[in-house]
Each structure stands twice: as C-alpha cells, then as structure tokens.
Chains A and B, each alone.
Chain A
Amino acid sequence: METKTAIVQIKNLFKSYKRGSQIIPVLQDITLDIADNEFMALMGPSGSGKSTLLNLIAGIDKVDSGSVSIEGIDITSLSETELAKWRSSHVGFIFQFYNLIPVLTAFENVELPLLLTGLSRKERKEHVRMALQIVNLTDRMDHYPSQLSGGQQQRVAIARAFVSDPAILVADEPTGDLDRVSAKEILDLMERLVHELGKTIIMVTHDPRAAEKAHIIRHLDKGVLNANTQAAS
C-alpha cells in the first residue's frame, strides 16, 4: 500500500472562545494528519468545532496552543501579514454561501486572488479562463453573481479557490445551500480537483451524501476528534 506524506499535521491543538468572563472550550487536544491529495470530510453535530478546526487549518483563526503545520510550515508562528501572504498561495476557500463579490463579474471574482501575484494581465486572463473552463463556466464569465444560479455561483467560487493553484482547498458546507442536482455537480467537480489537479480537500459537511464523496471521513464531537477514521465508500 502506498504511504502518502501528510500535507497537514495538527498536534495537540486546543482552542477556546471567551464569552464575557466565561471560557468555552471548542477544540480539545486535536491531533490529526491529512495526507497529500486526500479528500477528507469532517462531520459532526452543530457546535462540535468543525468550522473552527477548518479555520485553524486555513490560518484564519488563532490556536490557544498546539501546532498546525501545512506543507512543513508551522502557521501558528506566522504573523497576520505573513499569514495573509501564505493564504494567498497555499489555501483556497469554498464557502456555503459562495461569498462572491457582487459588483464583480464571474471573471473578475476569479481573477481577484491573482491580483496579489506578480502575474501580468495576460497571464491572469489565461489562468482565469482555464479555471472557468474547468468549472465549465466560460460562457458565463461576464455575468454578475446575481445573474447566476446557486450552483453556478458555487462553481465560480471553486474556480476562485483554485485559480492561484493552492495545494489545499477548504470547504465549509459547500453544498449546504444547493439543491440535490447542483450539490452533486459541485461534489463531482471537487472530486475532479482531487483526481485531476492533485488538490487536497478538507470539507466540513452535515450531509452524509456529500461526505460519501470523500476518501476519508472524520467525526468531531464536543471538540474532540473521534478516534475512528471512516473510509468513505
């Protein structure tokens, strides 16, 4: 059996939130390795800490203690500025509500992360066209988000997530706002990203059907990661 290298290594991670004087533990002693080119689903009831764990992996929240290493970089030691730079090239985000910028066209939304790179306008155009081609939306590139269906908006969001070629894509309930047909399209697309582009995807979901697409399913309950690793069918 082939042993894959861990692209994400989480060790003894603790995270809590303060609510007034009360400290609410959210994640407790999480240790987790995610292999390169893996599609992992993270499941659990509401409030179990799934999204918080996803945020910590993506470097958009701070740990209380423990370490999160992505591609060998301990991101807990990075400053805000360093983290912003790191995110732009290492992680792509897919959200439940797509979160496209409403005043920008599909093309411009996908181009947005590339503005932080040193790519020329022509190069950016090529990258965006290619990304939109992969999500099969080249004919809608001049449309604004309000002119697109939910599924199409999510495909634009996915194109935006991988256009800068990050190794990891994090998805928070990517099918949560979609009908069954659109959800399937999105999940198929994410599967293609893993198989054809070699991306690692970490997806938070409540939907068992969505989780079935993943290679591996991990469960969180009350901030504790279930020891059982469930291989998806």
Chain B
Amino acid sequence: MQILKLLLKNSFRHKLRTSLTVFGITIAILAFGLLRTVVSAWYAGVEASSATRLITRNSISIIFFLPLSYKEKIRQIPGVKNISYSCWFGGIYISEKNFIPNFAVDAKTVFELWPEFVLTDKQKNDFLHDRKACVAGRKIAEKYGWKIGDTITLRGTIFPGNWDFTLRGIYKGAYKSSDETQFFFHWDYLNESMKKTSPNRADQVGWYVVGVKNPDLAADVAAAIDKTFKNSLAETITETEKAFQQGFVSMTEAIVIAVRIVSFVVIIIIMAVMANTMAMTARERIGEYAIMKTLGFGEWHIAGLIFGESLIIAFTGCAFGIAATYPAANAFGDAMSTYFPIFNVQSETIYMDIAASLVVGLVAAVFPAWRAVKLSIADGLRRIG
C-alpha cells in the first residue's frame, strides 16, 4: 500500500506537467474513441445485417432495375420463405443537405422482412391502407419534428416531381444497432405514377429482399435464384445482406482506412508526448532511485516505480478520455445522424482505448526504466552531490 501511495504521490508531484500529460492523453483517447466509433458506424449496416435475408439485384449494377415479374419466380425457388422488394427513390426533403435514405417498398411485406423495424399494429394498418402513406424512423421524425398525419413532400431526383406523403407511422429499432433514420413509402404509389409518366420505367424494382427458411442454405438459395435468371435480359446477383452492405462500404474503403490510420497516429503522437514526460521525470529522479537502491530496493522495484507511474498517468487520461467519449459520441452522432444513423460507442472501442493506454504507459516507461535500472548507484549519487 505504501508503494502505491508513493506511486500516486510521485505521479502528481509535478502537477502542471502531469495535468497537461493527462489532458493530452484524454484528448487522444477521446479522438481515438470517436474515430474508432466512426469506423464502427461505417460498418453498422453490415453488422446489423440479417443472416436470413438475401438481396437480389441486377448483375450489371445496383442502378439497373429488375422486372417485377421476377417476384413470383423467386418465391417458387426451394428454401425461399418470403420476398419483398424495394427501390431507391433518392428524394430530397426541402434541401440537399437534409439527406434521408428513402425507399419505395412493398408495403404488404416490408415489415415482415425487417422485423427489427417496430411499428404498432395501428400504424402498420394505417400505412397499409393509404397508398400515399409513409413511415419514418424515430430519429428523423424527431429531427424534423414530424408527427403522425403530417404531410411530407420529397422532391424526386431519379423520379422527377414533388411527391407528397402522409406520415402514418414512426418505427422504432428493435435493437441498438437498428437504423432509425429510414423513410418508406408505397412502391405501388410510385409505380402508378410511372405508368402514367414513364411507362418504360413501370413495373421495375431496384432489388428483391428474399427471406430464407434456413440461413445455412442461403448460399444454395442465392445460387438457385441467379441460375433461374441466367441468360435473361436482366441477370441477377444474389448475395447475403451482409455482403450487399459490405459492397457499399468497400466503395469507401479508402476513407475507412484513412480514419483507421489517423486513429493510430493519434496514439503514436501521445505515446511520444508521454515518453517525453516519463524521460523528464526519470531524469529528475535518478538521484532518488539511487537512494532507494542504497536502501535495498532492487532493479525490479525501480522499474516498477517508473512503469507504475507511467501507467497511472496513462490510465488516468484513459479514464477521463473514456468518460468524455460517450457524451462526445452522442453529440457527434446527433450532429451527423444523416450520415451515421447508428453511432454507438462499441464495447470493443473501450477495450481498444484501455489497450492503447496500456501500450502508451508501457512503451513510454521502457527507456526511462532501462536507464534508471542500468545506472549505477555511485553515478546516481554523484548527480545529487
């Protein structure tokens, strides 16, 4: 206990220097935590994917449509439990800066395929029976102050014109990882319009969402679907929802890699700062270490004092950094909810914070400890006269 007391007293002997170092580590851990959370948020869609859902899209590209007639053919394939379809609408709410992921969906089946989007029975029913109805996630409804019954107008980009919808439901995510920022409306409403204005774009869907009976047979079902449409006018690619989401993420892989690198650079920088602090500390205390050696404290004791002090400073900064990460992530997540619908600090991030602090504390102490251990007592005593 006395050694721990000495460690604590030593750690805060130079209050200003220690405070600045702790502050630096706090900022570094905060930055590291936020950057790691950005990376996690980037993969949130992939992580939230279901193993029982397959996505069938046009083999040329996601921007090419598939005929509605594929629906029944896919349903007939053994292993398929249910099927739904969607289409990226790309509508703008008031201004381009208000990004909302909006989709035309098959109202009858969408919530069957996405049970994680929870809607009350009444709202579900209201949505189903109103062709101009829409459903929005809790987060965007809160963000824009939408209430049930409000009329929401989206300006179409892929499908030109102003599109009015009536908000009939606000869904909540069943899990922490569920996206609560999406906006759905009836594909039928879109299709009817297309039939009138652009008949060649009617009866087309963006992709099919296929529920499988057994996740272990997902690969076989996917292969069977693609085989069915081989050599047709619109060949398909069917993949798991995870792979589908991963495909989107991989388009921006370079950004993710850059964020990852920056997060580690932050740690390396603070490691250098911390090493400098510990080098100064150990240099100032060489005489004291020599005195302790004369009292019989061995090399391990001296090294332990230096490593202990370094770890106390590193973990103090880490604790403050972690404590600051949660409110900062909440604020950041709210501000960036359009781009990161799920911005939760993962437990893995906290473990990485702790591991990073441990590494910083240990690495910063290695050289000073080595010097203090190697220095002879006589040389140490000479430095203090």
Contact = CB atoms under 8 A, between A and B. Distances in A.
Interface of A: 52, 55, 58, 60-61, 80-81, 84-89, 91, 93, 95-97, 99, 101-104, 108, 111-113, 115-116, 121, 160
Contacts of B377: 55, 60-61
Nearest to A121: B1
Given A60-B378, A99-B291, A103-B13, A85 B6 contact: no
Nearest to B2: A115
Interface in B1-23: 1-3, 5-6, 9-10, 13
B9 A104 contact: yes
Contacts, number: 74
A1 B379 CA distance: 42
A73 to B, nearest CB: 15
State the main secondary structure of chain B at its contact with A: helix
Nearest to B9: A103
Contacts of B293: 60, 84, 87
A84 B6 contact: no
Given A97-B385, A99-B287, A103-B10, A60 B298 contact: no
Interface of B: 1-3, 5-6, 9-10, 13, 287-288, 291-299, 376-378, 381, 384-385
A14 B220 CA distance: 86
Contacts of A89: 296
Contacts of B6: 101, 103-104, 108
Contacts of B297: 84, 88, 116
Contact of B296 (A85, A97, A102, A104): A85
27 contacts: A60-B293, A60-B377, A60-B378, A61-B377, A61-B378, A80-B298, A81-B298, A81-B299, A84-B296, A84-B298, A84-B299, A85-B298, A87-B293, A87-B295, A88-B297, A89-B296, A96-B385, A97-B384, A99-B287, A99-B384, A101-B6, A101-B291, A115-B2, A115-B3, A116-B296, A116-B297, A160-B295
A113 B287 contact: no
Given A84-B297, A101-B291, A95 B2 contact: no
Contacts of A52: 378
Nearest to A108: B2
Contacts of B381: 55, 60, 95
Given A60-B377, A84-B299, A115-B2, 14 more contacts: A60-B381, A61-B377, A81-B299, A87-B296, A88-B296, A91-B294, A93-B295, A95-B381, A103-B6, A103-B13, A108-B2, A116-B295, A116-B296, A116-B297
In the A-B complex, the 8 residue pairs with the closest CB atoms: A88-B296, A60-B377, A103-B9, A84-B298, A61-B378, A99-B291, A113-B295, A87-B296
A95 B383 CA distance: 13
Contacts of A116: 295-297
Nearest to A82: B298
* Most B Cβ at <10 Å: residue of A80, A84, A116, A160: A84
B292 A112 contact: yes
A19 B160 CA distance: 88
